[in-house]
Structure formats: C-alpha cells, structure tokens
C-alpha cells in the first residue's frame, strides 16, 4: 500500500520528521554524479518539492556514476530524464526544472529550505553560494579520486564559500570520479540535508573530509 | 604551541593527521612550512609551493578557520595556540 511507502524510515525518525521532509523544498544544483543520487534519495524519502538545475546532456563518461541515466539516454537532455525517472520512483514529489547554468543571471527560487551543491566546478559553486538567500542552508559536496568532502553553510551566517575555498584547484581536463565515492558523498549530503530539515545540522561550518583510501573521516572547522 | 592539521591527500602523503610545534614569535606561515619540512621525513612542500615559493592552486591553508588568501597569504603571522589546517578539496561532482 502507498501508505506504507515510508514505514521503514518512520520507525527510525518518526512521523513528525517525516512531515518535515514532506514539507521541504530543496534545490539540486547539478544533476550529474552527486545530483542524480542526492535527488533520488530525497525523492525516495518523500521530499515535498525539488528544483533540479542542469543544462547537460547524457554522455558515455557519465554512465559510471550518474544513477538516473542509462545507455538509451545518450545525447538526451538530463533534466527531463531525471524528472521522468524520479517521478516514476515517487509521484508525490513536485519536481520543477530549471534549465541552464548557475551563472550571474541565474534566478534562485524563493521558497527553499536548502540547496544541494552537486556542481563540478568551483566558480559555479561560489556563485551558487553567493546567490543562496539569507538564512538558507547550502550543503556542499565535492570529490576527487578516493577523497571527498561535505560541508554545510548558512547564507549570511557562514563565511562565503569563495573565501573558504579560495585557491582551490579546478584541474584541467577530466576529474577522476568513481561510482563508489560519488554514492558515499551523496549519501552523506542527504544525511546532512535530513539533519537540517530536522533542525540539527551536523556539518554547519564544519567540513567532513572523507578518504575511501583508508576509510578515514575527519572534521575541518571553517 | 601551534597545531598543524593535514587533510586528505596531504594526510596520506605524510602518514599523519596533525603535528604540534612550539610557537616562534613573529613566525609566518611560509616560515612554519619550511620548519615543518625540516622536521617531517616526507617531502611535501612541492605540493604546496612552486620553485619561487608561491602557492600552487589546489591546497587551501586555513589559519584559525580563515583562508590565508584573505589574510596575508604565506606572510600571515602566527601566534601561540593558532590552528593551521591544510586541505586539498575535491572539485568533482
């Protein structure tokens, strides 16, 4: 029965928190590796509304980690595919699509509880952080090879991301990204998004640095 | 004491998470890095600095949570009880 859809998670976090998820509006910036998994987990959990932002088309190098897409999707736009697949998982989540890139002309929705930074370059991330409305939480995820990080900022309260990550490198060419690391970082991002919705973020101004090479995690306060 | 923290690839390279060094009055981040390199068995300065001693893009250095890009760069002075963190964040998504 559809009423049982959330039965297993409600045992864990309770009806009150499930309602907070149902009432939540979250923007997913980038529906690639991180974004495909973050959006899918949020939809499965019953989030009320998602905004999806991306302007990409599906290409072969995406298929190792972008879990919403398959071989039959090559050369197709990601956003309509993502909406179709997510709606097939949970039709009760409202999904709004915002085509285009996060650039200086980007208009942020005004009804957000949180933003998930699933982008793949720092210049867009800095702009996303700058555009995030005051008081709204932004959960940043990034990864490379066996390493990755998750960090929560609150616009107006935290240091700007452009200051924290000033001097961070945007490597030339392709960044090494594996399916296992993408899913780990995406899972941590969603865990933090739930924590924010429940009113107790764990990574506010605290970067969780993850190394799959030796299963090590550490906190970096920012 | 000055607490120095290494994250991600730097932690793996140096095989340690942190080290504490006695504070030296007037010492800068650049001087601390040079002192660290003398003390640690693994060469690591080339990961942070070019031949002219300027910072490569890639690793961020925070002093008490603030990126030295927004302080005085490598010339940022350090004080007793400061926390210096070095972290090369991942860029992919």
Interface probe for B, chosen from A162, A168, A182 (most Cβ of B below 10 Å), is: A168
Residues A109-125 pLDDT 10s: 999 999 999 999 999 99
pLDDT band at A1 (very low <50, low <70, confident <90, very high): low
Handedness of CA A212, A214, A217, A221 (dihedral sign): negative
Which domains are assigned to chain B? 2-87 (3.10.20.30)
Both tokens of residue A56? Answer: 């990409």
pLDDT of residue A112: 98
pLDDT of residue A104: 87
pLDDT at B55 over 90: no
**Parallel, antiparallel or unpaired: strands B2-6 and B60-63:** unpaired
Record: contact B91-A168, CB cut-off 8 A: yes
Q: What is the pLDDT of residue B51?
A: 82
Structure letter (DSSP) for residue B28:
B
Residue A115 CA to residue A135 CA, distance in Å, equals 11
Give the closest residue to B8 by CA, choosing from B84, B64, B67, B88.
B88
Spatial contact of A124 and A189, defined as CB atoms under 8 Å apart:
no
A216/B65 touch (CB, cutoff 8 Å), yes or no: no
Nearest to A209 among B7, B57, B65 (CB): B7
Partner-chain contact A167 B58, CB within 8 Å: yes
DSSP label at residue B89: -
Tokens linked to A85:
């697949």
Residue B60 or residue A169, greater confidence? B60
| Residue A169: band (very low, low, confident or very high) from pLDDT cuts 50, 70, 90 | low
Distance from CA of B86 to the nearest CA of A (A): 9
**Mean pLDDT of all residues in chain B?**
94
Percent of chain B with pLDDT over 70: 100
Residues of chain A contacting B85 with CB distance shorter than 8 Å? 220
What is the third-level CATH fold of A2-221?
Answer: Rossmann fold (3.40.50)
User: What pLDDT shows up at residue A172?
Assistant: 79
Q: pLDDT tens across A35-65, in order?
A: 999 999 999 999 999 999 999 999 999 999 9
ipTM of the complex: 0.93
User: Residue A155's closest CA among A197, A204, A215, A192?
Assistant: A204
Region A129-143 average pLDDT: 97
pTM of the model: 0.96
B11 touches chain A (CB under 8 A): yes
């Amino acid at each position: 029965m559809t009423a049982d859809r959330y039965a297993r998670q409600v045992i864990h976090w309770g009806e009150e928190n499930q309602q907070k998820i149902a009432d939540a509006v979250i923007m997913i910036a980038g529906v690639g590796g991180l974004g495909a998994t973050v959006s899918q987990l949020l939809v499965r959990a019953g989030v009320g509304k998602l905004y999806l932002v991306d302007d990409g088309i599906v290409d072969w190098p995406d298929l190792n980690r972008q879990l919403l897409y398959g071989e039959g999707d090559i050369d197709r736009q990601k956003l309509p595919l993502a909406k179709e697949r997510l709606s097939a998982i949970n039709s009760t989540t409202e999904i709004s699509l915002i085509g285009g890139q996060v650039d200086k002309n980007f208009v942020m929705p005004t009804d957000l509880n949180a933003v998930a930074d699933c982008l793949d370059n720092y210049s867009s991330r800095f702009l996303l952080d700058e555009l995030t409305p005051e008081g709204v939480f932004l959960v940043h995820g990034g990864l490379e090879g066996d390493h990755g990080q998750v960090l929560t900022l609150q616009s107006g309260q935290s240091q700007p991301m452009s200051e924290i990550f000033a001097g961070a490198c945007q490597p030339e060419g392709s960044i090494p990204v594996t399916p296992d690391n993408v899913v780990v970082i995406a899972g941590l991002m969603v865990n933090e998004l739930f924590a924010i919705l429940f009113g107790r973020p764990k990574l506010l101004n605290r970067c969780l640095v993850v190394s799959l090479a030796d299963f090590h995690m550490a906190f970096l306060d920012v | 004491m000055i607490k120095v923290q290494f994250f991600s690839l730097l932690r793996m390279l140096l095989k340690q998470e942190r080290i504490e060094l006695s504070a030296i009055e007037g010492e800068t981040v650049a001087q601390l890095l040079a002192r660290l390199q003398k003390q640690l068995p693994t060469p690591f300065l080339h990961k942070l600095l070019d031949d002219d001693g300027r910072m490569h893009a890639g690793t961020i250095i925070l002093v008490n949570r603030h990126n030295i890009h927004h302080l005085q760069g490598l010339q940022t002075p350090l004080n007793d009880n400061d926390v210096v963190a070095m972290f090369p964040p991942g860029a992919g998504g």
